[in-house]
Each structure stands twice: as structure tokens, then as C-alpha cells.
Amino acid sequence: MKKDIKSLSLAELEADMIEMGEKAFRAKQIYQWMHQKLATSFDEMTNLSKEIRNRCKERYDLTVLEMVERKVSAIDGTQKYLFRLEDGNVIESVLMKYQHGNSVCISSQAGCRMGCRFCASTLDGLERCLTPSEMLEQIYRISQISKERVSHVVIMGTGEPLDNYDSVLRFLLLISDPYGLHISQRNITLSTCGLVPKIRKLAEEQLQITLALSLHAPNDEIRRKLMPIANRYSIEETLAVCREYFEKTKRRISFEYSLIQGLNDQEEHAHCLAKKIVHMNCHVNLIPVNPIQEREYRQTERAEIDRFKKVLEKNGINVTIRREMGRDIQGACGQLRKGYQSRQKGRKESSEI
Ligand code: SAH
């Protein structure tokens, strides 16, 4: 099998060039073509001799994602992309424009096996993990196609990033590399449903990324109804490891809390949540749940969201309500991919009749 060249670190590529009998500086040239100039073929790398380019083609795979669909929101300019991977799997990514810069939300897996009840990404389970190059490519293609500068990255698309730990870590180092796109780690957020041992491991990596923890409930009973992972780890254990993450990295934790009508959105829930996190260095992001076809969950009324927010604020907790982006273009996780898959399925079935 050929090596996936876009997933190699510069040091690894240098070692490889020396092994091939080439000069080490060739590695930097190739690396910059891939990660700064966002080249899509070895033939674009014009400061390399044809011979080296041919040797590279023989030895390596150069991963490039193919865009199959793009939707641009008429409301806020959010762009949603559907990409096809080498093996035919499709994944989605989103470009969001904010005052502070442009942010790309990437997928870390094709599908997901975490089973959160409100999430469309997990309905068909996990297909496979993405490689570091496939994660990078989502950002590279979007920045080329949209011609926008990408300053922020959130790993909040399809998949559980800590269920693909090694590849995600490698991705984080590559995307923040000064010889690559050099996106500041402080502008990168990794969102997890709470794989406690992996969070503990991540805290040791000496990264400056923000950890977002999908909490979604004020107690274990409600959390277990929404997220299977809550049967594995209690809220207490989960918050303890978040404290550890803060101690080690000094990065403020961000809690995600999707409000679902009648389920986790009552004032008593806000009080209970406040009690648990009041002494933590954290921020709470309230998300009106994005209803998916397959489930009956409804959004909390705006006035009630505000009431929930006030309770937290009265306890001195930082809270924001996430602005809904791309409402008109299937904004919620996994919806575009799911729609595409069922259209493909429909097409296949109708052609079989
Ligand atoms: N697996 C990771 C990252 C992907 S999901 C995680 O669980 O954090 C990114 C965020 O969107 C998570 O907080 C997830 O719980 C939330 N989410 C998923 N589907 C949603 C929906 N339909 N409405 C609101 N939030 C949703």
C-alpha cells in the first residue's frame, strides 16, 4: 500500500526523502506545496524535477477530496459542503462566517457509534474513521473553493474525535504547523461527548486547543436518556476530568448544552447544572436543539431559553446562546450526508425495479 503523504509530519517526510536518496530540503518543498499552496497533484509542484515527481507518484497517495454538493445559506452566508472520499463514503463540512473570522467545522469520522439520541450523524452507526489528510482536506478544499481565509477550526461535524484519537492528534499538529496553514491552536475547538480516559490523555499532549464537552443534561438520569456514553461515565467523573484538563492546559472548558423542550430545559435543570459547574473555569454554550426527522425532539421557546440563561448568569457562569447558522441548508450535524445517502439509496432502488 502506498503511504498517505499528506498525513506525514515534516520530520517524517524528511526521513523519507533521505531514505529515497533525495535531499532533505525536498521534503519542505513538497510539504509547503501540500499544506500551504494546497496543491492537488504532484505535477503542480513545479520546483521539483519530473523525476522526483514521478518517484513521489509511485511511492505516495496524495489525498484530495472531491466536492459533490455545496449549499450556501441565503440567510447568513453559511456554506455546507459534501465531499466524497476515495472509497465512496461521503462526509460533510461547514464554513461559517463570523465577525472574528471564518470557521470551518469538520467531520472526524464517516458516521458515528456514540448513539446520541438527538443527532442525525449516528443513525446508521460508524462507517470508518477519517485519516489526518481527510480532515485537513476538508479545510483545504473549502478555503480554495470559497476563496475565504480560514482562521478557526471546530471539530464538531460528524463523528466522535476522541474515538479516532491518533489521527485527530496528528491532524491537530499538522493544521497548526508553521510550515502548513498555521492555524493557531487557540482557534481550534475539539468537541467530545465525553470519553473520560481520552480526555485525560489529551490533557497531557500540551496543546492549546479548546475542549468542548457535550453535557446536555444537569444530572445522570436525564443524560442517560440522551447519550449512551452517560452509562459509562457519570457527570461527576466527566466534570472531574474537565477540571484536570483545565489544570494542565489552563484552557477554559466550554460546555455544550442543547435545549430540548420539556426534557432538560426547565428552571430546576438550570439550577442543578449551575450547582455542578459554578466553581469551574468554564463557559456554557446553549444550543436550541435542531430537530431531526427521525426523532420527536422540539426546540425550547426563546423566552424559556433566556430564562435558563439567566439562572446560570445569576450564578456567575458565562453563557452564550448559539446563533443558529444555515437553518435553510440543513444545518444540524449529519443532515446533509443523511439526505444524500437516502437519495442515492432511492436512486439505486428505483433503478433495480
Ligand atoms: N461527537 C462530538 C462532536 C460532534 S457533535 C460531540 O459529541 O461533542 C457537535 C455538537 O452538536 C455536540 O455537542 C452534539 O451533542 C451536538 N448536536 C448533535 N446533533 C444535534 C442536534 N440535532 N441539535 C443540537 N445539537 C446537536
Per residue in 99-136, pLDDT (tens digit) is 899 999 999 999 999 999 999 999 999 999 999 999 99
Tell me if 154 CB under 6 Å of ligand 1: no
What mean pLDDT do residues 199-219 have? Answer: 98
Q: How far apart are CA 63 and CA 85, in angstroms?
A: 9
**Which residue do the cell numbers 465525553 mark?**
194
pLDDT at res. 328: 80
Q: What percent of the chain has pLDDT over 70?
A: 96
Whether the predicted pLDDT of 210 surpasses 70: yes
Q: How far apart are CA 19 and CA 351, in angstroms?
A: 51
Whether the predicted pLDDT of 334 surpasses 80: no
Say how many Å lie between the CA of residue 299 and the centre of ligand 1. Answer: 14
Whether the predicted pLDDT of 171 surpasses 80: yes
Whether the predicted pLDDT of 63 surpasses 60: yes
Q: How far apart are CA 6 and CA 170, in angstroms?
A: 11
Q: Which of the two residues, 351 and 162, has the higher pLDDT score?
A: 162
* All three cell numbers of 262: 420539556
pLDDT at res. 338: 76
Q: How confident is the model at residue 255 (pLDDT cuts 50, 70, 90)?
A: very high
* All three cell numbers of 331: 444545518
Q: Among 151-155, 199-203, 322-326, which stretch is predicted with the lowest mean pLDDT?
A: 322-326
Say how many Å lie between the CA of residue 63 and the centre of ligand 1. Answer: 27
pLDDT at res. 293: 86
Tens digit of each residue's pLDDT (9 = 90 or more) over 292-330: 888 889 999 999 999 999 999 999 999 999 887 777 887
pLDDT at res. 261: 97
What mean pLDDT do residues 201-230 have? Answer: 98
Say how many Å lie between the CA of residue 85 and the centre of ligand 1. Answer: 23
Whether the predicted pLDDT of 225 surpasses 90: yes
Give, using CA atoms, the residue closest to atom 14 of ligand 1.
214
Give, using CA atoms, the residue closest to atom 18 of ligand 1.
119
- Mean pLDDT score across all residues of the chain: 95
Q: How far apart are CA 110 and CA 131, in angstroms?
A: 10
Q: How far apart are CA 25 and CA 18, in angstroms?
A: 10
Q: Among 13-27, 216-230, 244-258, 336-350, which stretch is predicted with the lowest mean pLDDT?
A: 336-350
Instruction: Note if 333 is an active site residue.
Output: yes
Q: Which amino acid is at 162?
A: L
Give, using CA atoms, the residue closest to atom 1 of ligand 1.
160
Q: How far apart are CA 297 and CA 263, in angstroms?
A: 9
Instruction: Note if 272 is an active site residue.
Output: no
pLDDT at res. 350: 59
Q: What percent of the chain has pLDDT over 90?
A: 88
The closest of 170, 122, 171, 149 to 294, measured between CA atoms, is 122
Please write down the long-range contacts of 323-327, taking CB distance under 8 Å and 24 or more positions apart.
324/288, 324/290, 325/73, 325/76, 325/78, 325/94, 325/96, 326/71, 326/73, 326/75, 326/76, 326/78, 326/79, 326/80, 326/94, 326/96, 327/73, 327/75
pLDDT at res. 53: 98
**Which residue do the cell numbers 443523511 mark?**
338
Whether the predicted pLDDT of 346 surpasses 90: no
What mean pLDDT do residues 24-46 have? Answer: 98
